[in-house]
Amino acid sequence: MNKTKKYKWRNLILLSIMIGITITIISIALPKTNSTFNTIYVDRKAENKNPDYFTYEGIYSQQTAERFTDTIKGLLTSDNLIGETLENSGIQNTKENRKLFSKNLTIKKTGPQVLTVRTKGLYYKETDALISELEKYIDEINTQTQKGIVIKTVSKESVLEENTRYPILNGLVSTLIVIFIGGIILERKSLIKKLT
């Protein structure tokens, strides 16, 4: 290895270490992010049963609840419900805020009648507010249509999670990536010089 090549490799390693330290410091300095989640169970009240004969109302109620779960998922991501949630949380209901809230909102269907609602970032406290707005809306639907849809939350309050970060790992990985990419570039340049 000639002196020029050693010099380039030494500079590459120094640059990589500097970038790794910078990434580590940035990772430590960034504020921690939190998220909250709650699970919703969607059900439908079966009509009163007549003990004199068998009805399929229980089965139909369950099928209706399963189908309505997709509707609930759609409602939770609707601009109207998100706007109401923002207003009731004291946040201005603007297009930008609704878009940002939607970006930080995740709704997963984890079972035929089960949805998990998760909010993160700036809006991590709004999970309960969103579910509360949904409950109000479902009550309105039930009074207008007599569907008897019921949503139940698994826990009374949303569960708070602090998202973990790994600043030293971030710094180490970024250092190795820079060395790897820089090494490929250096070796490619020296190979091209040899060939020409």
Q: Return the closest-CA partner of residue 27 out of 177, 129, 173.
A: 173
- Which positions ≥6 away from 28 have C-beta within 8 Å? 167
pLDDT in tens, 67-118: 778 888 888 888 888 888 888 888 888 999 889 888 888 889 888 888 888 8
Do residues 45 and 58 make contact, with C-beta atoms less than 8 angstroms apart?
no
How far is 59 from 157, CA to CA, in rounded Å?
31
Radius of gyration of the CA atoms of the chain, in A: 27
Predicted local confidence at residue 59, as pLDDT: 61
pTM here is 0.62
Predicted local confidence at residue 83, as pLDDT: 87
Domains of the chain: residue spans and CATH:
3-30+165-195 (no CATH), 34-162 (3.30.1890)
Mean pLDDT in consecutive groups of 10 residues from the start of the chain, 196 residues: 77 90 90 80 67 54 72 84 84 88 87 85 71 74 68 79 84 92 84 71
